[in-house]
Structure 1
């Protein structure tokens, strides 16, 4: 059986600029197994989907114990590397983030997302404060002896509508990326950005492999590869699609 460390090393190796790893985000053991059987290289959870599937709103409204139990079931259901969306780290302090990451590692995760916005209102944290939180996460992984892939998510592009996005926002994301890389992050996740020119600049200048999320207006997989993206996440899209199918099928059955 492949060890946790081997899975972590494999997951790192799958992040290649121009040959993006595609993560079709799952929300439970069944969806994880379905994604794995489709040929995925790895399995990733999405916090919005996991929360919705369990009757909660996103933004750390679901108890962390629920997320951990869900993670354990997913890890047991597939042989693939599993990365978990830990939102903002489920805690006020770097020490809390470290404890959250340690628990996820113990449950079998080999990667995690940690975002730089406050769950209460989506506003951005001070980048130096976020770097401390990421450094604590890295220390927790080092203590556990697992080369955890820490995907540092920056929510710069969620602060304004897409039509207001500009190169100044790119430079702010890159400023944060440099701090996050120095703190021990493994990847840069920039959800919300959709314009080719902005994505190209991010991919070219980021010190970390770039992760883009699929959403309306985002270029297709082939174009994202051309732009130098290393990872493509589907976020809540798979869950929403599955639930839309279920609703329509139920309506037809009862009609």
Structure 2
């Protein structure tokens, strides 16, 4: 576990560095190799949505865990950087899923609370932290709260933000080093959550056309920003645009690079 422990410590340190950690989510070996080989990339994260889509499954733990872990293991074996896995909600046993992920070379992971009762969500966080400790690894748990995603269209945003902070504080107290709040894009809301959790404790997802630039998130005290399913959609958009051009009588893009 020595190399695993070293990678975990590296990933943890990247979350507290002055520069925001940008994690590009990958979904297979070739996407991981391209991202890992890009200058400035310091770690990788897998995307459950992207991996599920690769095999024809809907997101939401519909892809069998064995198949999901197999792909994640192929990714970790193909790169030399720390890898964080999107564990979704833990597949019914968050601690065991984290243990199996570490066996595949993973040193961090996202865990959704799905707005379950707080004591249940905290217990899942504790189980993952305990699994890391038992393995001798500072597993970098990115404890996710869906407080902003589960609010109805007429919900009071300030109440949702307050709930995200309340749950996030509980996850930090349970041992998670960082908290992920999807749906958080407005500057004033980010500021409120950073104030509630502390600097370098919040992680966000970059949403096309909505999110602040990474450099501005860094100024606000955000620890990390990831890309979720959007990087796969960027790739698929480029593919579809190329197909449209070819079907319309054109040619493939002149700037296409031999990345595989």
Q: Does the alignment reach a TM-score above 0.5?
A: yes
TM-score normalised by structure 1 residue count: 0.91
Q: Distance in 2 between matches of 1:235 and 1:202?
A: 20
- Could you tell me which residue of structure 1 aligns to residue 13 of structure 2? 13
Q: Take 1:125 and 1:110, find their aligned partners in 2: how far apart are those partners?
A: 25
1:186 deviates by 1.5
1:114 to 2:119 alignment? no
2:26, 2:46 within 8 Å by CA — same for their partners in 1?
A: yes
Runs (5+) with no aligned partner, structure 1: 118-123
Q: CA deviation at 1:53?
A: 1.5
Distance in 2, Cα, partners of 1:219 & 1:162: 22
Question: Contact 1:170–1:198 at 8 Å: present in 2 too?
Answer: yes
Aligned to 2:231: 238
- Picking from 129, 149, 164, the partner of 1:158 is 149
Say whether residues 1:197 and 2:188 are aligned partners: yes
Aligned partners of 2:72, 2:156: CA distance in 1, in Å?
A: 35
Output the CA distance in 2 between the equivalents of 1:162 and 1:230: 28
Paired with 2:185 and 2:156, the residues of 1 have a C-alpha distance of 9
1:8 touches 1:146 (CA, 8 Å); kept in 2?
yes
Aligned residue-pair number = 244
> How far off is 1:162 after superposition?
7.9
Deviation of 1:132 after TM superposition, in Å, equals: 0.4
Structure with bigger gyration radius: 2
2:15 & 2:245 partners in 1: Cα distance? Answer: 42
Runs of 5+ consecutive residues of structure 2 not aligned to the other structure: 249-260
Pairing of 1:83-232 with structure 2 (within 5 A): 83-91=84-92, 96-117=93-114, 124-160=115-151, 166-207=157-198, 209-215=201-207, 216-232=209-225
* Structure 2 counterpart of 1:120: none
What residue in structure 1 maps to residue 33 of structure 2? 33
3-state secondary structure, aligned to 1:113: strand
Q: Which moved more, 1:2-11 or 1:238-247?
A: 2-11
State the 4+ residue runs in structure 1 displaced beyond 6 angstroms: none
CA distance in 1, matches of 2:67, 2:245: 33
Q: How much does 1:246 deviate?
A: 1.0
8 A Cα contact 2:20 2:215, kept in partner = no
